[in-house]
Amino acid sequence: MPDESAVEEALLATCALAHERHGIDPQALQRSVGEHARRLWRASPTIDYCRAIGISCWEGLWGRFEGDDPDLVALREWTPTYRHESWARALAEHGVNGPALAALLAARFQEE
């Protein structure tokens, strides 16, 4: 699907920033983010809703989830923590403890 390649390109572009700042291999960080994002997503309080409507962990890293439906509101409120944790855990796996960098990368990925 074209969407998948766009997500991969955006993720690699985001990981390049971590490479510039800390020398982390972009592909290795991309794999780490994916692993942590999947684990966190599967443990989320909204996983049943997401599965029912087909929202993936990748969409959780960039989606805005607008609307008044209570499930969407819960998802929208939870995703900032999910995004930050996915990036923070991936960075930690590569020896970087950087909450500010995790926040920056989470925001950058949404922009990309």
In the chain, what are the domain boundaries?
2-111
Q: Whole-prediction pTM value?
A: 0.93
The pLDDT score that the predictor gives to residue 98 is 86
Name the one residue in this structure whose structure tokens are 């490479």.
19
The pLDDT score that the predictor gives to residue 42 is 97
Higher-confidence residue of 101 and 98: namely: 101
Supply the DSSP string of 7-72, one letter for each residue.
Answer: HHHHHHHHHHHHHHHH---HHHHHHHHHHHHHHHHHTSTTHHHHHHHT--HHHHHH----SS-HHH
Nearest to 41 by CA among 56, 21, 23: 56
Please tell me the total number of residues recorded for the chain in this structure.
112
For residue 8, pLDDT over 60 is answered with: yes
For residue 2, pLDDT over 70 is answered with: no
Nearest to 11 by CA among 58, 51, 75: 58
Q: What is the overall mean pLDDT for the chain?
A: 94
